[in-house]
Amino acid sequence: MGSDKPSLRKRRVLVVEDDEDSREFIRTVVEKEECECVTARTASDALRLCDTGVFDMIVLDLVLPDGFGLSVARHITKLGTKTAIVVVSAYLERLDPATYPMFGIKRLIRKPFKVEEIRKALAEEPPPPAAN
């Protein structure tokens, strides 16, 4: 018997969020969707993780203790991976919509967000696997 739910078991998601409650909440949602979840509190932690592993999706806060979250998105695009980036922030007005493709931004979610918004982002068609 097949399931209507797409298989997300092998997807890796990096959650970059400095607020511990938000980070753990998003982690819980991601793991309930059967994805592997890795978390980072700062942009520098996220950059290190991106240099050592491939992620299918990054859930990215814009305002981090050590810089602007788009530095992580810029780094990902320079790596040439097919990582989908979902920005979750209360400061979406800081982004120019014309720059979304340049940074690999797939979706914007305004804080405070609903669980369903994160689930929807996770359920979208994953990008093709990155080359090894």
Domains of the chain in start order, with CATH, are 12-123 (3.40.50.2300)
Count how many residues are written for the chain.
132
Q: Look-up: residue for tokens 């290190």?
A: 48
pLDDT tens, residue by residue, 70-121: 999 999 988 888 899 999 999 888 888 888 888 889 899 999 999 999 999 9
Q: What is the pTM of this model?
A: 0.85
pLDDT of residue 82: 84
Written as one letter, the residue type at 127 is P
pLDDT tens, residue by residue, 11-42: 999 999 999 999 999 999 999 999 999 999 99
pLDDT of residue 121: 93
